């Protein structure tokens, strides 16, 4: 249910971005920071919080994260301007980092190794339902009340969800590790280095302050140095946040790279399509929300099936099939024009969603099978880190491509301009086509990595982990 709640929030806010951009009369590169700030804060905290939960208990970290997330939503209801709203998303992102770093760890701890794929498939189903409920509810709230109602709904549903968790979650059952076996020191240098590295990387790529190429290059150079120091420290410290020796395992490293590429693709679809549906195709926010739910339909149907079957048949066939469907979906979306039918839009989105649903649970299962239970928290957090950080990268790259394409045609990437000017609509769609063709090409690498990666049967890896 935590997955459902947090994913629904993302869908609600994403569907409100065009409305917020229009109300504050801002452009696409600026409004993207409502999504980017959220993901930056999550990315910076998710790995340290995953490790902390392995040490002090998952319930403590999980519940504090929920409380911070709900508090941020309260501030969002009363945010007077775009800057304060971005700060609200930073607060919520910090809370989300504490929550998502534990969700998958709790699932994989409660379920046995033989049922892990089924559990992760259920997780994917909740993601899909969240993507259905979020845009649908968000669109209705925006059309009939306003975008602030989205944050008010988060407060209400958050409190309803928080109270049962406080009573039901049992620390011993969801952590299931002897407290005596846990390391007594938290790796503060590693936490600071990992957070600094991610923030430098994301700031250098997204360029929120319109810095020159020299400054951005310097930022990325410092990021590379920080990452090098982080890896060296993780190798030498007795209680590392992330055991970097895991990357020596072929299955782990190839699955991680494939997952990262996959989320770049999903980010571009989730972020850009509401702007196309509302700004180019002319649909309302509520109609846009319903159209975007077609992505979730594929995830809801495919997720539990692929997760359950991956317990029996291994991961490879599902990872390859998911990658192939996702390539097909992004290619369909790359063929959109200003006059495309809603059927073509829905077909591309649904194919992409089916690909995500088939791919994610077996991929997660493959990664988790390479580690022992006492590391479930940090590796679960690491998987979520891949999602949030590469979502930001995907949004940033897609935004740059669209904005540069429109600027090259003499237009600013402003939603109102896209809605009112035929030439701006054509320029926006041209950028959209470039993004999705690039993503489809990039996902071919995911397909290849899934073909060559690791043992096709999870039983082998489970035996090795044992």
- Give the per-residue pLDDT at 389: 76
Within this chain, do residues 199 and 141 fall inside the same structural domain, yes or no? no
pLDDT in tens, 103-152: 767 776 766 666 666 666 677 677 767 767 787 788 888 888 988 998 99
C-alpha dihedral, 395 to 401 to 404 to 409, nearest 10°: -120
Into how many domains does the chain fold? 2
Domain boundary among 195, 219, 238: 238
Sign of torsion over alpha carbons 138, 144, 148, 152: negative
Q: Is residue 182 part of a domain?
A: no
414 DSSP 8-state letter: B
User: Containing domain of residue 363, as a range?
Assistant: 2-171+239-465
**What would the pLDDT profile of 63-88 be if each residue is shown by its tens digit?**
899 899 999 999 999 988 888 999 99
Mean pLDDT of the chain: 80
Q: How far is CA 107 from CA 116, 173, 449, in A?
A: 8, 11, 26
In a domain, 204, yes or no: yes
Q: Are residues 366 and 451 in the same domain?
A: yes
**Residues 88, 196 within the same domain:** no
pLDDT above 70 (res 459): no
User: 83 and 66 in one domain?
Assistant: yes
pTM (two decimals): 0.72
Measured CA to CA, the distance from residue 2 to residue 384 in angstroms comes to 14
Whether 350 maps to a domain, the answer reads yes
- Please tell me whether residues 102 and 60 are part of one structural domain: yes
198 and 93 co-located in one domain? no
Q: What is the reported pLDDT for 35? A: 77
Examine the domain organization and report whether 217 and 281 are in the same domain: no
Residues 6+ apart with CB under 8 A from 326: 262, 265, 351, 352, 355, 356, 359, 443, 446
pLDDT of residue 460: 42
Q: Which is higher by pLDDT, 261 or 43?
A: 261
- Per residue in 396-451, pLDDT (tens digit) is 788 888 888 988 888 877 767 787 788 888 999 999 999 999 988 888 988 888 88
428 within 8 A of 402, measured Cβ to Cβ: yes
- Going by C-alpha positions, the residue among 137, 443, 434 that lies closest to residue 293 is 137
Q: Of 218, 238, 258, which one is at a domain's C-terminal end?
A: 238
At 437, list the tokens.
């063709």
Quick one: which H or E segment has residue 89? helix 82-110
Q: Is residue 177 part of a domain?
A: no
Q: Are residues 75 and 128 in the same domain?
A: yes
Question: Which position has the token pair 């990315």?
Answer: 43
C-alpha to C-alpha distance for 202 and 199, rounded to whole angstroms: 5
CATH at 378: 1.20.1250.20
Q: Are residues 133 and 164 part of one domain?
A: yes
Question: How would residue 54 be classed by pLDDT, with cut points 50, 70 and 90?
Answer: confident
Q: b vs e for 151-175, b when ≥16 Cβ sit within 10 Å of the residue's Cβ? A: bbbbbebbeebbeeeeeebeeeebb
Claim to verify: residue 24 and residue 35 sit in the same structural domain: yes
CB 184 within 8 A of CB 110: no
Residues 308 and 166 in one domain: yes
Specify if 420 maps to a domain.
yes
Domain-located, residue 179: no
Q: Is residue 231 domain-shared with residue 374, that is, in the same domain? A: no
Neighbours of 372 (CB within 10 A): 11
């Amino acid at each position: 249910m935590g997955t459902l709640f947090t994913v629904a929030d993302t869908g609600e806010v994403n569907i409100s971005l065009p409305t917020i951009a229009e109300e504050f009369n801002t452009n696409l590169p600026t409004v993207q920071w409502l999504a980017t700030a959220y993901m930056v804060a999550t990315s910076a905290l998710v790995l340290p919080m995953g490790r902390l939960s392995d040490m002090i208990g998952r319930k403590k970290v999980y519940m504090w994260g929920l409380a911070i997330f709900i508090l941020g939503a309260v501030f969002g209801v009363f945010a007077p301007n775009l800057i304060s709203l971005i700060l609200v998303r930073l607060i919520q992102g910090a809370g989300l980092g504490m929550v998502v770093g534990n969700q998958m760890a709790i699932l994989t701890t409660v379920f046995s190794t033989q049922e892990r794929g089924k559990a992760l498939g259920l997780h994917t189903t909740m993601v899909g339902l969240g993507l259905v409920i979020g845009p649908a509810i968000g669109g209705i709230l925006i059309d009939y009340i306003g975008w602030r109602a989205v944050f008010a709904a988060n407060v209400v549903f958050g409190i309803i969800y928080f109270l049962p968790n406080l009573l039901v979650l049992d620390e011993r059952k969801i952590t299931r590790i002897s407290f005596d076996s846990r390391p007594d020191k938290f790796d503060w240098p590693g936490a600071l280095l990992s957070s600094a590295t991610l923030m430098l990387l994301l700031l250098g790529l997204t360029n929120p302050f319109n810095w020159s190429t020299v400054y951005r290059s310097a930022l990325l150079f410092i990021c590379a140095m920080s990452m090098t120091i982080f890896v060296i420290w993780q190798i030498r410290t007795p209680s590392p946040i992330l055991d970097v020796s895991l990357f020596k395992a072929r299955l782990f490293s190839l699955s991680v790279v494939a997952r990262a590429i996959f989320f770049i693709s999903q980010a571009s679809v989730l972020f850009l399509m509401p702007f196309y549906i509302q700004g180019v195709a002319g649909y309302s926010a509520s109609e846009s929300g319903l159209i975007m739910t077609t992505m979730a339909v594929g995830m809801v149907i495919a997720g539990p099936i692929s997760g359950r079957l991956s317990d029996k048949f291994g991961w490879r066939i599902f990872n390859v099939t998911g990658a192939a469907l996702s390539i097909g979906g992004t290619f369909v979306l790359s063929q959109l024009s200003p006059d495309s039918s809603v059927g073509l839009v829905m077909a591309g989105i649904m194919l992409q969603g089916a690909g995500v649903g088939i791919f994610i649970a077996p991929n997660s299962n493959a990664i988790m099978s390479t580690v022992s239970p006492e590391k479930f928290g940090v590796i679960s957090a690491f998987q979520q880190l891949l999602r949030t950080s590469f979502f930001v990268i995907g949004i940033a790259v897609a935004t740059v491509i669209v904005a540069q394409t429109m600027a090259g045609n003499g237009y600013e990437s402003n939603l109102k301009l896209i809605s009112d000017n035929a030439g701006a609509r054509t320029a926006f769609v041209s950028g959209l086509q470039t993004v999705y063709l690039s993503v489809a090409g990039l996902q071919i690498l995911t397909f290849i990595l899934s073909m060559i990666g690791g043992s096709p049967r999870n039983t082998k890896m489970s035996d090795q982990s044992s």
